[in-house]
């Protein structure tokens, strides 16, 4: 039966009346155009979460694509077979033209999802987005009560505003996903976050453990959970899934630090995912710009998006298995996980072609993950907040 797009752990079932489409396509090795594309329309954001998935080098507003350029991108995506777009950021509602972009995406037949922190939305603007054809709203939560949640976000009264916008979302009959990014300092609130999602009448909850690249890597000592916390997290998710079957769908992203096998990051480099940065770069992953020495093509170049996907050097560099070194090269799992995450390999080993140290077969696995374990047991709780200035360290007494 059906399962999450990009979840490679579950083998295809021939008797399945609702097979996952990407699965069927990816076995054909065609690298056909992805079904869903992430549009990071701006890096501007009022929040300062220390695990932000944006690169440490943020695109300033002057570099952002114009309204006309984004509309052209949306038309082109629909034309080449993309079915869904996620409007993300930064904070996508920081763009004044968001309603216009959503309207255009709907007009060209795309399923539209808004991934937002919600703090800049008014009820009127949300209603305009619904009228423009918005299909789904995903709101991030940093915790379950404002003390911790506002501290993590580095934004006063944010939590209260998010609850309000979540309520408006359901009043406007828009489907709602609660996105909860989890780490050592908020994992104890998970049972209450599940209950909050039910109370908010959400359709879906994403329990997303922090992935340690970019900003999160800088904050690893303050965020890394203990093994015991993770085991408890998994238990809570499994229990809630069973109890809330048919009422609340729960997607669960585990951190790979304590795993023995790496994740098939992005479904494999250049296989089923790309995103577009605020400045128009077409990227195999939202962290890809952290890998130095790769040249990413822009939608502002003379090339079409389909050409960039199929032919650009950056997409082909780590596609398939030809680029691999040992121990990946001769590994029986090389087409299962494609050597894990290239960005993590680069960040932790200095070479994106090395085996992701999340893999137990990486020579660096022991050292790096023992260190993470020590950090998890440590007392360092101060955050380095995300901003355009390269980060600001939280004061001793918080905030």
Partner 1 sequence: MAGPRNISVSEASRPVLPRHARLKYDETRQVWVILAPERVLAPDEIAVEVLQLCNGERNVGDIADQLAAKYAAPREAILADVIVMLQDLADKGFLTEAREKTS
**Residues making contact with partner 1 (CB under 8 A):** 1-2, 4-5, 17-22, 24-25, 32-33, 35-36, 80-81, 83-84, 109, 111, 113, 135-136, 138, 170, 173-175, 177, 199, 201, 203-204, 244-247, 249, 251
Rounded to the nearest whole angstrom, what is the least distance from the CB of residue 80 to partner 1 in the complex?
A: 7
Rounded to the nearest whole angstrom, what is the least distance from the CB of residue 166 to partner 1 in the complex?
A: 12
Residue with Cβ nearer partner 1 (23 or 151): 23
Q: Decide: 184 and 223 in contact? Cβ < 8 Å.
A: yes
Residue with Cβ nearer partner 1 (86 or 386): 86
Residue with Cβ nearer partner 1 (173 or 396): 173
**Residue the block writes with tokens 């098939």:** 264
Cα of 225 vs its chain's centroid, Å: 19
Other C-beta atoms lying within 10 Å of the C-beta of residue 260:
11
Backbone angles phi, psi at 24, to 5 degrees: -65, -40
Which DSSP category does 34 fall into? P
Backbone angles phi, psi at 396, to 5 degrees: -55, -40
Residue with Cβ nearer partner 1 (54 or 113): 113
Nearest to 44 by CA among 301, 209, 274, 277: 277
Coil, helix or strand at residue 283 = strand
Rounded to the nearest whole angstrom, what is the least distance from the CB of residue 368 to partner 1 in the complex?
A: 29
Residue with Cβ nearer partner 1 (28 or 389): 28
Residue with Cβ nearer partner 1 (13 or 128): 13
Residue with Cβ nearer partner 1 (247 or 370): 247
Q: Please provide the DSSP assignment of 124-141 as one string.
A: HHHHHHHHTT--EEEEEE
Rounded to the nearest whole angstrom, what is the least distance from the CB of residue 114 to partner 1 in the complex?
A: 10
Cα of 32 vs its chain's centroid, Å: 21
Rounded to the nearest whole angstrom, what is the least distance from the CB of residue 211 to partner 1 in the complex?
A: 16
Q: Decide: 48 and 385 in contact? Cβ < 8 Å.
A: yes
Stretch (H or E) spanning 123: helix 123-131
Rounded to the nearest whole angstrom, what is the least distance from the CB of residue 168 to partner 1 in the complex?
A: 14
Rounded to the nearest whole angstrom, what is the least distance from the CB of residue 346 to partner 1 in the complex?
A: 26
């Amino acid at each position: 039966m059906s399962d999450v797009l990009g979840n490679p752990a579950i083998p295809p079932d021939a008797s399945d009346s609702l097979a996952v489409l990407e699965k069927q396509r990816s076995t054909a090795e065609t690298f056909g155009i992805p079904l869903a594309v992430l549009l990071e329309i701006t890096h501007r954001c009022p929040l300062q979460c220390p695990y932000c998935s944006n690169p440490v080098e943020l695109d300033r507003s002057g570099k952002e694509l114009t309204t006309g350029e984004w509309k052209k991108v949306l038309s082109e995506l629909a034309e080449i077979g993309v079915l869904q777009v996620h409007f993300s950021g930064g904070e996508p509602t920081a763009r004044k033209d968001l309603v216009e972009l959503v309207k255009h995406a709907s007009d060209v037949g795309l399923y539209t999802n808004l991934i937002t922190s919600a703090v800049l939305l008014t009820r009127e603007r949300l209603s305009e987005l619904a009228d423009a054809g918005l299909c789904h709203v995903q709101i991030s939560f940093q915790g379950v009560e404002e003390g911790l949640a506002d501290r993590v976000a580095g934004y006063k009264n944010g939590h209260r505003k998010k609850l309000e916008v979540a309520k408006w979302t359901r009043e406007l009959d828009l489907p709602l996903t609660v996105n909860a990014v989890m780490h050592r300092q908020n994992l104890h609130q998970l049972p209450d976050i599940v209950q909050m999602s039910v109370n908010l009448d959400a359709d879906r909850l994403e329990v997303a453990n922090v992935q340690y690249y970019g900003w999160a890597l800088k904050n690893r000592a303050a965020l890394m959970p203990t093994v015991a916390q993770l085991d408890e997290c998994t238990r809570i998710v499994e229990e809630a899934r069973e109890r809330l079957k048919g009422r609340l769908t729960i997607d669960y992203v585990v951190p790979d630090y304590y795993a023995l096998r790496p994740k098939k990051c992005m479904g494999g480099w250049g296989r089923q995912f790309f995103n577009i940065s605020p400045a128009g770069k077409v990227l195999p992953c939202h962290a890809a710009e952290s890998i130095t020495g790769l040249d990413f093509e822009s939608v502002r170049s003379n090339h079409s998006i389909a050409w960039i996907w199929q032919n650009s050097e950056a997409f082909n560099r780590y596609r398939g298995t030809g680029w691999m070194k040992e121990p990946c090269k001769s590994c029986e799992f090389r087409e299962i996980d494609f050597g894990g995450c290239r960005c993590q390999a680069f960040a932790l080993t200095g070479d994106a072609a090395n085996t992701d140290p999340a893999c137990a077969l990486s020579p660096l696995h022991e050292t790096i993950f023992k260190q993470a374990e020590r950090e998890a047991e440590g007392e360092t709780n101060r955050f380095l907040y995300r901003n355009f200035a390269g980060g600001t360290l939280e004061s001793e007494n918080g905030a």
